[in-house]
Amino acid sequence: MMQSGVPHCSTCGESVGFGPNGEVFVACHECSFPLCKACLEYELKEGQKLCLRCGASFTAGLDNLMPDGAETQATDTRSTMASHLQNQTFIAAIEFFFEESTPESGNPIWKNRVQSWRERKNKETVSKTALEPQVPPDQQMEEKKSQEAMLPLSKVIPIPRNQLTPYRIVIIMRLIILGLFLNYRVTHPVDSAFGLWLTSIICEIWFAISWLLDQFPKWSPINRDTFVDRLSTRFERVGGPNELAAVDFFVSTVDPLKEPPLITANTVLSILAVDYPVDKVSCYVSDDGASMLTFESLAETAEFARKWVPFCKKYSIEPRAPEFYFSQKIDYLKDKVQPSFVKERRAMKRDYEEYKVRINSLVAKAQKTPDEGWVMQDGTPWPGNNTRDHPGMIQVFLGHSGAHDMDGNVLARLVYVSREKKPGYQHHKKAGAMNALVRVSAVLTNAPYILNLDCDHYVNNSQAVREAMCFLMDPQVGRDLCYVQFPQRFDGIDRSDRYANRNIVFFDINMKGLDGIQGPVYVGTGCVFNRQALYGYGPASLPSRPKSSSSCSWWCCGSEKTSKDLPEGYQDSKREDLDAAIFNLREIENYDDYERSQLISQMSFEKTFGLSVVFIESTLMESGGVPDSVNPSTLIKEAIHVISCGYEEKTEWGKEIGWIYGSVTEDILTGFKMHCRGWRSIYCMPLRPAFKGSAPINLSDRLHQVLRWALGSVEIFLSRHCPLWYGYGGGRLKWLQRLAYINTIIYPFTSLPLVAYCSLPAICLLTGKFIIPTLSNLASVLFLGLFMSIISTSILELRWSGVGIEDWWRNEQFWVIGGVSAHLFAVFQGFLKMLAGLDTNFTVTAKAVDDTEFGELYVFKWTTVLIPPTTILIVNIVGVVAGFSDAMNNGYEAWGPLFGKVFFAFWVVLHLYPFLKGLMGKQNKTPTIVVLWSVLLASVFSLLWVKVDPFLNNDNGKAMAQNCISIDC
C-alpha cells in the first residue's frame, strides 16, 4: 500500500519512493518534478539528462541513486525541497503535470517526450490488461466482504458538544452556587431555633455530598452502536466453519410457587430460539429449591420447544417468548408474505394453549405436598423432597444427543441443575447457585462467555447475543472487557409508572455516564460475562508482575498461563503461600524440576478452584471447549462432584473468583471486584430492548425489593470490600468509577437526614420557628440561583439522555418514598446484622400479575416499612392545618413567614403523593393498623412537641413562664 504524502511518478504511476537518507526521493530540485528512481535511471541511460518539465539538469539528483553506504551530502535547499514535496498531494501533482503538457506551451524537448511517453503508456496498459486475469464478480464481492469484515464491530457515539458542554458548565456553576449557599447557611445561624437550624445544616451538607457522588460519574456520558452484519461477515463465512464464540445461558429460580413455572418456561423458550448457532448455545436452569414442579415443567418445555423453535426461526418472529408474543396487540399479518404463516400461527397458538394447560395442571397439583413426598413417573421418590437436605441433581433435556425439533434439526442444549444441600453448610443463596452453574457449565460445555438472566427476564431481541459479541469478539475492544451489561426493561407496569419501577433515570442516565469512564456496574441480570474474568484472572492488557526467583521455574514450566493471567489472589495475597509450597516440595529429592513445577501448579490451582482436575483444566482454555483428554462418559459424574456442598471449602470461590459472597446484592460486589482488577465493562443499548422482565408493581412488594437492594449496599459498606478503602493498591480503579461505587453503597444512609429534613416543615409549623433567618438580597439571589441550577441540570440531563420529564419526576418522588421507608429500615437492619448477628430473611417477590390489567398495582400488604412515611405524611398535614390556624389567629403579619413553612411542607406531601395513593388502594381503603399506628405516633409527637419545646431558648422560656405567673394562669 502506498504511504500517505508520497507522490506518484509522472511516468510509471508508481510511488517515487525514498532515498538513502530516508527522505522522499527527488529527481529535480528546481521544480520538484515527481519521478521515481527507475524512470530516472532510464532517462539517464537514454541520454536525457534534463528535467522534462523545467529543463534543469538532473545532476543534482544523481546522489540519490548511489548505493547504500556511499557518502551523500544534503544541502539545506534539498531538505527544504524534500519537505515541500512530502506535503504535495497526488492530485495537485497530476493537475500541474497536465497543465504544462499541452503541445502549444513548454519546452520542445518536453513536448516530444510527453508524446512518446503517452504512446508507450497506452501500449503498456493494453498489454497489462490483456495479461491480467479477469476477476469474477463473485470473487470481487467476496473480497469486498472481507474488507468490510475487518472494520470495527462497534463504535462510540459521543454526546454532541452542544448538549454536553452546557451540561458541564451548569454542573460547575451549580457546584459554585452550592458552596456559596452552604457558606451563607453556616455563617447565618438562627438563634431562636438553633437546634432546627443545626439539623437542617447537617442534612444539607450531606445532600450536597450525595449530589457530588451521583453527579460527577456522569461527566462523560457516551452512546454506542454495533454492526451485527460485520460480525456475521467476519465469523460466519459461507462454506466455512462458524467461528462465533459459544455462550452458556444461566437462569436461576428458587420457589416455583412465587416464581411461576410458566414465566420461567417462557424465558427458557426464548433462549432456545435465540438467533445464534444452536451448537453454540447451552441453557442451564438452576433450581435452588429442588422442586419437582420445576423439573416437570422443564420436561414439558423441552417437548414444546421442538415445535416452537423452528416456528420462530422460520418466520423470524419477535419476541420469541410465546406468552408475550401471542399477547401483543399488533397486526401479526403485517410484513408476512408467506401464505402458510396464518395457518401455522393459529396452530402454534393452539399448541401453546394446550402446553399452558399442562403447566397449570402441574402447578395445581403442586399446591399440596403428599405426606409420603413426591414420586417421579418411574416410581422412584423425588430426591429433592427435603429441600434442605438433598443430593445434587443434573438432567440434560436437549442437546446433540437429545431430541431434535420437528424439522429434524438439532436443538440447543437444555440442562436442569439443582446443587447439593446439606445442614451445617453455608449455601450463599443466589451467589452460591450461580457459582455452581459456573462449575457445571465449565465441565459440560465450557463456553468462553456466560449470559445470566433472572427467571422472569426473557430474550426480547433474538439478536441480543450478537450485539454483545460485537464487543466481546472484537480484538481491539474485547481484550480487557469483563462483561457487557444490557439495560433492564419491564412489562406489565402501569402507564404512569407510579413507583418508578422502570428506573429509567438510572438505566438511561447514570449507566451511560459510567460507560464513559470504566464501564457500567453489574445489575444482576441481562449481562454477558467473559468467563476468564469470573475466574479472577486479570485483563491481558495489564503488564505482568515481576516474578520472584523462587517461583520462576514453575511459572514458566507448569502452565501456559503467565503471571498476569493468574487470579488476583495469586498475584497479591497468596504469594507467600505459593512460595511456601515451593519450598516444601523442593525438599523432596525424588522429583525433578519439571515434575515439581507440575505438582506445585496443580496444588495451587486446587487451592483456588477446588479438587476437580477437569474443571481446573477447563480454566486454562481461554477459547472454551471441553478438554480432549476428558472421557465424555464421566462428565456428568464430574459435574455432580463440582456442585457438592463441600466443594468450595478452603477455596477462593466467593472470595476472589465467581460471584462474590458477603452481600445480598452480590451483583454490585462482583462487578466491583472485576473493575478493581483492571477490567472494564460496556453498556449495550440496542434499539429493540435485548431483555424484558416483570417487576413487583404494588407498593408493598416494591418497597421490599428496594429494601433488599439497600440492605445489600449497607452490607458492602460494613465489609472489607467497601469502595471507601478497598482496591487502592493496584491503582486500576478510576477515581470517577470509585465515586460511583461509593455512591452505590452510601445512598441508604441518606435516609437518616432525609427523614429529619422531611420532618422539619411540620416541626416549624407546630412551633412557629423556622430554619432560615430573614432573607437579605444576597440570600434571595443564592436561593434563586440554587433553585435554577437544579432545574437546569435536570433539563440538560433529560436533553442528552432522552428521558422524559414524567419519568424523571417519578424517580424524584420514589427517591423520597424509598428513602424514608425501605432505606431507613435497611440501615438499621444492616447494623443489627453486624453487631448482633441478626440475619434478615427476605421472601421472593411475586412475579405474576393479576388477570386484570395492572391489578397487582392495587394489592396492599401490611408491612412495618409503611409506618415512617405514613407518619411523616400525617405530621406534615397536621402541621399545615396548625400553621393556617395560627396565622388566622395572629393576623396579617403571620401570613408572610407562613409561606416558606407551608412551601416546604407541600414539597414533602407532593413527593409522598404516590405513596399516599398507594395506601388508599383501588377502593381508597387503608389497613386500619397502618392508620392507627401512624395517627398515634403523629399525635404523640405533636403533643410532646407543643408541651416540651426543645428548640425554645431558655430566656424566652423564663419570660413566658413569668408572664404566665403574672396573669395568674
Annotated binding-site residue numbers:
252, 258-259, 288, 429-430, 454
Feature table: binding site for UDP-alpha-D-glucose: 252, 258-259, 288, 429
Q: Provide the pairing of β-strand 489-491 with 413-418.
A: unpaired
| Cβ 465 vs Cβ 447: under 8 Å | no
- Give φ, ψ of 381 to 5 degrees: -65, 145
Helix (H, G, I), strand (E, B) or coil at 929: helix
Q: Provide the pairing of β-strand 393-398 with 281-287.
A: unpaired
- 201/186 Cα distance (integer angstroms): 7
- Give φ, ψ of 418 to 5 degrees: -135, 110
| Cβ 455 vs Cβ 253: under 8 Å | yes
Single out the catalytic residue among 248, 287, 667, 701.
667
Kindly give, in sequence order, each residue whose CB lies less than 8 Å from that of residue 422, ignoring residues fewer than 6 positions away: 389, 645
Percent helix, strand, coil in the chain (nearest 5)? 55, 10, 35
- 424/427 Cα distance (integer angstroms): 9
In Å, the largest CA–CA distance within the chain is: 134
Single out the catalytic residue among 214, 287, 288, 456.
288
| Cβ 458 vs Cβ 324: under 8 Å | yes
Among 523, 744, 534, 571, residue whose Cα is nearest residue 659 = 534
Element (H, E) at 581: helix 575-586
> Is residue 701 annotated as part of the catalytic site, yes or no?
no
Kindly give, in sequence order, each residue whose CB lies less than 8 Å from that of residue 716, ignoring residues fewer than 6 positions away: 662, 663, 665, 668, 669, 672, 722, 723, 744, 745
User: What is the residue whose three cell numbers read 492530485?
Assistant: 91
DSSP string over 637-706? HHHHHHTSGGGGTTS-BTTTBSSPPSSS-HHHHHHHHHHHTT-EEEE---SS-SEEEE---SHHHHHHHH
Feature table: binding site for Mn(2+): 430, 454
> Which residues on adjacent β-strands are paired with residue 418?
393
> Is residue 288 annotated as part of the catalytic site, yes or no?
yes
DSSP string over 461-496? STTHHHHHHHHHT-TTTGGGEEEEEPPPEEES--TT
Roughly what angle, to the nearest 10 degrees, separates helices 822-836 and 751-767?
120
- Give φ, ψ of 379 to 5 degrees: 95, -5
Element (H, E) at 963: helix 954-966
Helix (H, G, I), strand (E, B) or coil at 123: helix
For 248, the grid coordinates are 452458556
> CA-CA-CA-CA torsion for 383, 385, 390, 396, nearest 10 degrees?
40
Q: How far is CA 731 from the centre of its chain?
A: 22
| Cβ 52 vs Cβ 115: under 8 Å | no
Both ends of the chain: CA-CA distance in Å?
104
* SS3 track for 703-731: HHHHHHHHHHHHHHHCCCCCCCCCCCCCC
For 63, half-sphere exposure in the C-beta direction (CA atoms, 13 angstrom radius) is: 11
Q: How far is CA 207 from the centre of its chain?
A: 26
Among 145, 321, 353, residue whose Cα is nearest residue 239 = 145
User: What is the residue whose three cell numbers read 434571595?
Assistant: 780
- Give the sign of the dihedral formed by CA 444, CA 445, CA 449, CA 452: negative
Which of the residues are catalytic?
288, 667
